Structure 1
Amino acid sequence: MTESVPVLPPKNRTSRTGLIAAIVVVAVVVVGVIVYLTTRGSSEEPGATVGSTAPTVVRLGTTDVAQPHWEILKDLAAQENIELEIVGFSEYTQPNPALTEGEIDLNAFQHLLYLADHNNNTGDDLQPIGSTLIVPLPLYSDKHDEVSEFTKGEQVAIPNDATNQARALFVLESAGLIAFTGEPKVPTPDDVDTAASTVVVRSVEASQTAGLIGDPDIAGVVVNNNFATDAGFDLDGYVYADDPTSTGAQPYINVIVARPDDVDNPVFQRIVELYHDPSVTESVVESSGGTAVIVEGYDAAKLQQVLQDTQANLTTAG
């Protein structure tokens, strides 16, 4: 009789293999998570927390970078994860080329007539996407308190640059001090009917107009708001000013401007909306000495139509 041999149960061969497989899977998952978090964190702006959305950076150029309303606008934008950088320029001739070249994303320093003149002269197609303000262009005098007091042949100094000169002439026409020989879209002194006018127009550099207020040969001066402020004028002490809300003043609406491909950019449109927040607009008006009028009711399409019409008028006048 053969003695039976005990048979041992087979070893569980999956235990070692399964353990190894489990370790490998866990390791792969951990590495994947680390790579994901590291990559995501490295693509954000400095200071961004892991897992947060990096702010959208927008560079806006202006010639009045020191005005307090820009800081207010920056704070409002930051609350919506928009990092608004305000880039300062010292001359009016700089922000438009910088925008065209992509050095900035938006600019806000000019009215529509200035923009129209720039586009016509350079071939650029920069477009307004929102309105900001308009400032009356006043006639000041140290000799007269009323327009009716001006007498035949007295001289009035006006700015001689193309954009402000036309507006100054319209101011004098509206005041009844000059008449035109026709119906010029962009008048120059050559369009003035001297025989039918009360005053004689004298064109000078815009920066010199305020300094002529005491000249014995000058009965009045048409002065831009910034030069009047710098010269210490009583901004409410003008003899006459145009109506900034009139149709004729549309070309002088100041605007926020973008490249043509960016006119529908939702972030840029949001910046326009934030500019019209009361905390911003109240600061704008205060900084202007109460002279600025915030322009409402003009969407991008309407502003672009005014620009198109103004460019056509300049071309015809040229």
Structure 2
Amino acid sequence: MKKKALSLALAAVLTAGLLTACGSSSTGTSAQPEGASEPAAETTASQAPESEEASSESASTQAAETEVESKGTVTVAATSVPHAEILEAAVPLMAAKGWELKVTEFTDYVQPNEVVESGDMDANYFQHITYMESYNEEKGTHLVDAGDIHYEPLGVYPGKQTDLSAITDGAEIAVPNDTTNEARALLLLQEQGLITLNDGAGITATVNDIKENPHKIKFVELAAEQIPRSLPDFDFAVINGNYALEAGLNASTDALATETSDSDAVKKYVNVIAVKEGNENNEGIKALVEVLKSEEIKKFINDTYQGSVVPYEG
């Protein structure tokens, strides 16, 4: 009986031990995931800001890349003053639209048209529309107006004399010798009451179209770019806006008379973005015209040239 009781006691102890062991195992298994879970949560928490920051940086980078993503390049031929200067002011505005604007300066009125006609450059910005049309007719080119940007008031400047209303008989006046600008000069002098042209002479007028010349003015025809430096040799001179600027003259302050903004001459001599026919609706060209007609560029023109160059509002 004692042996049997001892056996039963040992069995009870063993059973209790087994039950305790099972409970311990269950608790240990439960504790381990909780313990593992806490470090895992800490790791996730410490990594979360990095993940969000990386995501934010990635979004910013993508936005920046989208903002400056290049749509292409627009190449423009231009004379230096004021055209190339205006185009340089347009460079950052074009960049904001995704376009790189490359400007090449020329010193004559022929090459800028040749490089556009040949397709070597996308556009030019140096000439008024009447000159462009005359050039097309003479050279057989296919240039068209993609946008009217500004005009440069032609002015009558003082030389030996300073008062147009008191002009002496036989006075000498220098005028440009190219067809379009000579006509423009004569039309301006007619507006001042100094001469009268034949009816219908218009934008093709030459000195041969002068019908009345009461002061017997002597007209000296010179290349437009030569007139500013020859100004002291004449009583008066009619000078193109760009060449006046290059000579340090300002139409609004130095000229005795200028074309008015509402004159027919201004409409006929507005400076344009010229392209080869068929390219006027290209995306880059349309962007360029939009920029050059923007309020930012209008302000640049007005602030910089003080009336010697005027944004075209037509």
The number of aligned residues is 247
Does 1:172 find its partner at 2:206?
no
In structure 2, relative to structure 1, the CA distance for the partners of 1:90 and 1:240 (3 Å cut) is: closer
Residue aligning to 2:51: none
Offset at residue 288 of structure 1 (A):
2.9
Identify, as 1 or 2, the structure richer in helix. Answer: 2
Offset at residue 293 of structure 1 (A):
1.1
Does 1:212 find its partner at 2:230?
yes
Which string of whole-angstrom CA distances, capped at 9 and with x for unpartnered residues, describes residues 34-83 of structure 1?
A: xxxxxxxxxxxxxx979x95422221221228844323312111112112
Higher deviation after alignment, 240-249 or 127-136 = 240-249
Offset at residue 234 of structure 1 (A):
5.3
Residue aligning to 2:99: 82
Secondary structure of the structure 2 residue equivalent to 1:290: coil
* Identical-pair percentage: 28
Q: Is the 8 A contact 1:63 1:89 kept in 2?
A: yes
Residue aligning to 1:189: 207
Q: Which residue of 239, 263, 266 maps to 1:223?
A: 239
Residue aligning to 2:154: 137
**What is the correspondence of 1:78-117 to structure 2 with a 5 Å cutoff?**
78-117=95-134
Distance across 2 between alignment mates of 1:135 and 1:199: 25
**What is the correspondence of 1:31-110 to structure 2 with a 5 Å cutoff?**
54-64=70-80, 67-110=84-127
Q: Is the 8 A contact 1:76 1:274 kept in 2?
A: yes
Offset at residue 169 of structure 1 (A):
0.8
Instruction: Look at both structures and tell me which one has the larger radius of gyration over its CA atoms.
Output: 2
Query: What amino acid does structure 1 have at the position aligned with 2:225?
Result: S
Higher deviation after alignment, 219-228 or 129-138 = 219-228
Secondary structure of the structure 2 residue equivalent to 1:70: helix
**What is the correspondence of 1:218-297 to structure 2 with a 5 Å cutoff?**
218-233=234-249, 235=251, 236-297=253-314
User: What is the root-mean-square deviation in Å for CA atoms of aligned residues?
Assistant: 2.5
Which string of whole-angstrom CA distances, capped at 9 and with x for unpartnered residues, describes residues 209-229 of structure 1?
A: 2233323xx321111223333
Q: Is the 8 A contact 1:130 1:272 kept in 2?
A: yes
Query: What amino acid does structure 1 have at the position aligned with 2:247?
Result: A
Secondary structure of the structure 2 residue equivalent to 1:193: strand
Q: Which residue of 134, 137, 141 maps to 1:120?
A: 137
In structure 2, relative to structure 1, the CA distance for the partners of 1:222 and 1:76 (3 Å cut) is: same
Distance across 2 between alignment mates of 1:107 and 1:249: 20
Distance across 2 between alignment mates of 1:201 and 1:194: 13
Q: Given the two structures, how large is their TM-score scaled by the length of structure 2? A: 0.71
Residue aligning to 2:26: none
Which string of whole-angstrom CA distances, capped at 9 and with x for unpartnered residues, describes residues 137-189 of structure 1?
A: 11112454442211332221111122211111111111111112332131011
Q: Is the 8 A contact 1:285 1:293 kept in 2?
A: yes
Q: Given the two structures, how large is their TM-score scaled by the length of structure 1? A: 0.70
Q: Which residue of 153, 161, 169 maps to 2:170?
A: 153
Which string of whole-angstrom CA distances, capped at 9 and with x for unpartnered residues, describes residues 272-308 of structure 1?
A: 11112222222233443431110023xxxxxxxxxxx
In structure 2, relative to structure 1, the CA distance for the partners of 1:149 and 1:112 (3 Å cut) is: same
In structure 2, relative to structure 1, the CA distance for the partners of 1:163 and 1:195 (3 Å cut) is: closer
Distance across 2 between alignment mates of 1:89 and 1:223: 20
Distance across 1 between alignment mates of 2:250 and 2:310: 17
Distance across 1 between alignment mates of 2:100 and 2:220: 47
Does 1:199 find its partner at 2:193?
no
Offset at residue 116 of structure 1 (A):
0.8
Query: What amino acid does structure 2 have at the position aligned with 1:244?
Result: S
Residue aligning to 1:304: none
Distance across 2 between alignment mates of 1:128 and 1:232: 29
Distance across 2 between alignment mates of 1:100 and 1:129: 14
Distance across 2 between alignment mates of 1:151 and 1:243: 25
Higher deviation after alignment, 145-154 or 126-135 = 145-154
In structure 2, relative to structure 1, the CA distance for the partners of 1:119 and 1:68 (3 Å cut) is: closer
Query: What amino acid does structure 1 have at the position aligned with 2:260?
Result: D
Distance across 2 between alignment mates of 1:172 and 1:263: 35
Q: Is the 8 A contact 2:195 2:213 kept in 1?
A: no
Unpaired segments of 5 or more residues in structure 1? 1-47, 298-318
Secondary structure of the structure 2 residue equivalent to 1:281: helix
Query: What amino acid does structure 2 have at the position aligned with 1:230?
Result: E
Secondary structure of the structure 2 residue equivalent to 1:166: helix
Secondary structure of the structure 2 residue equivalent to 1:213: helix
Q: Which runs of 4+ in 1 moved over 6 A?
A: none
